[in-house]
């Protein structure tokens, strides 16, 4: 197999004709498939339908003796639910706080409170410290980026390696006191899929940050979302930071959005005892507490940490073949051609593709014209701008397995066609 | 019946002995009753138990065709739920937005966004306008007050009349451009219970506010919570403001917390089309949308506006006797004595008592010593400070009817005892 970069103009022209013919054949099928968002598929949602009839009649009194249908109870949320996730996240139960239906909403509120109030009772509000910045591994998660952009927080991109963020870059930037936070998706990163190495995590825990109010925003969204045997999540950040004398550095977030029902699940927060006190003190102004009935519903359904593990195996059985289908199509169509490289994640929700420079937007447009909706090229970069125009995020969870097979073929051909065009210097608008 | 103020010292001493004996007899019963918070009682919660098995199996597709178990859908929330409440609040369906489980949380978020972003796309953030202030009718709702205190917003108290806030005071203060908002509970105000008159509402709508970014925070928490025949809520603020040329002035909030389940209910926001656009633009940074499954559950249960009305009649049948029990005890024990005046609300969750000046804290402490938990005296004033030490808020919803009868007797005697002591100049600490 010859790589595109090594082909003569004639060979490329011949390949262009061939790949265009294949592309036209796919476009003629008038497909309409969505591979754009990390949404659970219908079969996955069906795994949690028992939630619809929980809690059972007369089962609304919590372990603490509160009526889950009424106001009141522990502001940290139901202990029977916190106890399920504490061992999974390796956090003491008393340091786990149950939030609303979204971990992103909790991250948002933490940023807002840090801006308006400061990250401790005595800290200066971020708003009163001039322009501040967050570090963000790129490619990364657009909703993390957008939250910073919304509130005028600068984003400093950090390159991603197969072991996590480039720590030399991180350690350099945190010497600047205006750097107040860093986005982290340590287990099956969005979209690059890697698990951050123990060394990366130990360095994040121990590095010297100029800002005493610097925080790691630790979004453990995929902590139990394995796709392979013997997988385990990234090293736990709370003990690592505590051991390094920086116990208050990490703020952890996760949710059941991709365990049970998306938007009808439960978000969580965990941190040091001091950070938990700060969080609860801020949160009490936001209303009369979270949805205890949905907490009880989830506690009854998931039962214990083992219940979560068993449930996630059922998700894996549905998801793993979809990821394989994409990887097989890419292997068959793209291997050895030098048109793109891609990740082979062992968990999470995404496959990340890097095309040759300058071909990603064109490839996404070609796929779109063939009826395959993909995440907009560049969306994994701050402000949607990928300087190399190279990264494409593939989300194979939502479509059916058969549709994923068809879509993966179409995407691979779109990528190949865009790469051949680029190699030939053919204008995108042709 | 002689009024305390007209009694001689001897008569007061005789009365003191008599009332103390009654009080001691009640204390000897070692009661333990909670009349402190506006919580629905168990019988009321039971009215909504059908929610526990809704939506039914296979019934999770919304009218718009979205799977309520997954991400996505209209950011305004399910139209089938918005359509139920739009006619009740007299707002067009497209101006109703469904929030999370708490209207207080929505108010909090609106304040936070106003501070950080400004109340329109072009407005200056409140944070960048120096010290700002909210008007607040007093006595009022402590969680409204606390939200302002939390974020450094000054509270300017406005006296309450039987027709609502004293509009001369309001109109005076809104000439100051640092006044950015006003708390309003127009229907069965918390705790004073009055319905704001049409004249008050028309003046709020039409008054000249110096700040172009002034907003009425219209907390319609008790809009369908009637306790009497032929009751109707306060005049609708959105059309009144639109007619006065101030369409963007009001921001409306309400919830089903005291219709279905508290904390497991649904909060709502409604405002002018421009404000709704602003709200959605801010809210999209806060996560992936609200709990659509709980929205569908509520739509299936309540069915339509008529369903809400029928449901609230069942609440009334449970609540009205409890309010009557309190009023009867007060009438029997306190009428004609000049020890206290109290409201006779036709809806809502509270009875507001004004003791003679300087007797409220003592009365609440006496009641507490007799086993009756009341809201702390003063808590209806900013920072918990009632300058006259006079106001007590009674919340008869949570306890059983029999317990409310007992508690009301104990409270009335505690109020009378505190008033007699005060009249005699006996130190609170005796």
Contacts of A52 in chain B (CB under 8 A): 53-57, 60, 293
Which residues, in sequence order, are bridge partners of residue B133? B154, B179
**CATH entry, A70-303, from 3.40.640.10, 3.20.20.390, 3.90.550.10, 3.10.180.10:** 3.40.640.10
Strands (E) in B189-249, as ranges, are: 215-219
pLDDT above 90 (res B307):
yes
CA pair distance B326, B395, nearest whole angstrom: 10
Whole-number Å distance between alpha carbons of B76 and B86: 13
Q: What is the CATH number of domain B69-303?
A: 3.40.640.10
* Interface touch A291/B286, C-beta < 8 Å: no
Q: Is residue B97 a contact partner of residue B295, using CB atoms and an 8 Å limit?
A: no
Q: What value does the mean pLDDT of chain B take?
A: 96
Give the chain A residue nearest B73 (alpha carbons): A263
Q: Helix, strand or coil for residue B127? A: helix
pLDDT in tens, A105-152: 999 999 999 999 999 988 999 999 999 999 999 999 999 999 999 999
Judge contact between A375 and A37, C-beta under 8 A: yes
Tell me A226's DSSP state. B
C-alpha dist (Å) from residue A408 to A16, A191, A400: 19, 17, 12
Q: Which of A421-430, B119-128, B143-152, B332-341 has the lowest mean pLDDT?
A: A421-430
Residues in chain A within 8 Å Cβ distance of B219: none
3-state helix, strand, coil in chain B (%, to 5): 45, 15, 40
Cβ under 8 Å to B: A residues 47-106: 48-49, 52-57, 60, 67-72, 100-105
Asked if A127 is an interface residue toward chain B (Cβ–Cβ < 8 A), one would say: yes
**Which tens digits make up the pLDDT trace of A246-296?**
999 999 999 999 999 999 999 999 999 999 999 999 999 998 899 999 999
Tell whether the model's pLDDT for residue A402 goes beyond 90. Answer: yes
In chain B, which residue's Cα lies nearest the Cα of A267?
B287
Mean pLDDT, range A74-103, rounded to an integer: 97
Q: To which residue do tokens 């029990």 refer?
A: B325
pLDDT at A430 over 50: no
| B111 vs A contacts (CB less than 8 Å) | none
ipTM above 0.90, yes or no: yes
In angstroms and rounded to an integer, the radius of gyration of the C-alpha atoms of chain A is 23
- Residue A288: the pLDDT is 80
- Angle subtended by helix axes B103-117 and A103-117, to nearest 10: 50
Q: What sign has the CA pseudo-torsion B124, B130, B135, B141?
A: positive
Choice between B57 and A176, residue whose per-residue pLDDT is larger: A176
pLDDT tops 90 at residue A427: no
The stretch B398-405 carries a mean pLDDT of 96
Burial of B90 (0-12, 13-18, 19+ CB in 10 A): middle
Instruction: Determine, for residues B291 and A291 on separate chains, whether the beta-carbon distance falls below 8 Å.
Output: yes
Interchain proximity B261–A293, CB inside 8 Å: yes
Cα separation, B169 vs B159, in Å, equals 8
Q: What pLDDT does B288 receive?
A: 80
A177-190 b/e (C-beta count within 10 Å ≥ 16 → b): ebbbbbbbbbbbbb
Q: Report the pLDDT value the prediction gives residue B295, as an integer from 0 to 100.
A: 98
CA A351, CA A347: separation in Å to the nearest integer? 10
Tell me the mean pLDDT in the region B264-272.
Answer: 98
> In chain A, where are the structural domains located?
4-45+309-424, 70-303
Q: Which of A45, A48, A116 sits opposite B67 (nearest CB)?
A: A45
Question: What's the gap in Å between the CA of A356 and the closest CA on chain B?
Answer: 32
From CA B254, how far away is CA A183, in angstroms rounded? 35
CATH of domain B4-45+309-424: 3.90.1150.10
Mutation target among B153, B254, B291 for the A interface, most CBs of A within 10 A: B291
pLDDT at B373: 95
C-beta of residue B306 within 8 angstroms of C-beta of residue B90: no
Indicate whether A28 pLDDT > 70. Answer: yes
> According to the model, what pLDDT value does residue B428 have?
57
- What part of A 268-287 touches B (C-beta under 8 Å)? 285-287
Instruction: For chain A, give the percent of residues with pLDDT over 70.
Output: 99
């Amino acid at each position: 197999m010859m790589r595109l970069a090594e082909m003569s103009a004639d060979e490329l022209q011949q390949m262009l004709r061939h790949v265009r013919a294949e592309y036209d054949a796919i476009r003629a099928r008038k497909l309409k498939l969505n591979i754009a968002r990390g949404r659970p598929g219908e079969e996955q949602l069906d795994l949690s339908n028992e939630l619809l009839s929980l809690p059972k009649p007369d089962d609304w009194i919590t372990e603490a003796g509160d009526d889950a249908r009424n106001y009141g109870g522990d502001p940290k949320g139901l202990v029977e639910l916190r106890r399920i996730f504490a061992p999974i996240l390796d956090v003491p139960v008393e340091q786990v706080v149950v939030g609303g239906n979204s971990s992103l909403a909790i991250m948002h509120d933490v940023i807002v409170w840090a801006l308006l109030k400061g990250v401790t009772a005595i800290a200066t509000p971020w708003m009163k410290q001039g322009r501040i910045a967050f570090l963000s591994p790129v490619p990364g998660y657009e909703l993390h980026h957008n939250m910073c952009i919304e509130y005028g927080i600068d984003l400093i991109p950090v390159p991603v390696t197969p072991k996590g963020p480039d720590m030399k870059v991180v350690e350099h930037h945190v010497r600047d006191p205006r750097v107040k936070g860093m986005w982290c998706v340590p287990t099956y990163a969005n979209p690059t899929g890697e698990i951050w190495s123990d060394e990366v995590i130990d360095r994040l825990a121990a590095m010297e940050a100029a800002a005493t109010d610097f925080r790691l925003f630790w979004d453990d969204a995929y902590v139990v979302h394995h796709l392979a045997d013997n997988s385990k999540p990234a090293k736990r950040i709370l003990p690592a930071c505590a051991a390094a004398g920086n116990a208050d550095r990490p703020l952890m977030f996760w949710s059941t959005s991709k365990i049970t029902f998306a938007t009808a699940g439960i978000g969580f927060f965990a941190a040091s005892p001091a950070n938990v006190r700060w969080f609860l003190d801020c949160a009490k102004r936001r209303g009369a507490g979270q949805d205890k009935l949905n907490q009880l519903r989830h506690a009854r359904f998931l039962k214990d940490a083992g219940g979560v593990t068993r449930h996630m195996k059922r998700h894996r059985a549905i998801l793993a073949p979809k990821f394989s289908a994409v990887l097989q199509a890419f292997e068959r169509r793209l291997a050895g051609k030098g048109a793109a490289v891609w990740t082979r994640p062992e968990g999470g929700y995404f496959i990340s593709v890097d095309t040759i420079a300058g071909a990603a937007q064109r490839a996404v447009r070609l796929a779109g014209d063939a009826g395959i909706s993909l995440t907009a090229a560049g969306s994994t970069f701050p402000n949607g701008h990928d300087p190399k125009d190279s990264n494409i995020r593939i989300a194979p969870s939502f479509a059916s397995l058969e549709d994923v097979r068809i879509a993966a073929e179409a995407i691979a051909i779109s990528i190949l066609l865009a790469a051949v065009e680029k190699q030939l210097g053919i204008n995108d608008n042709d």
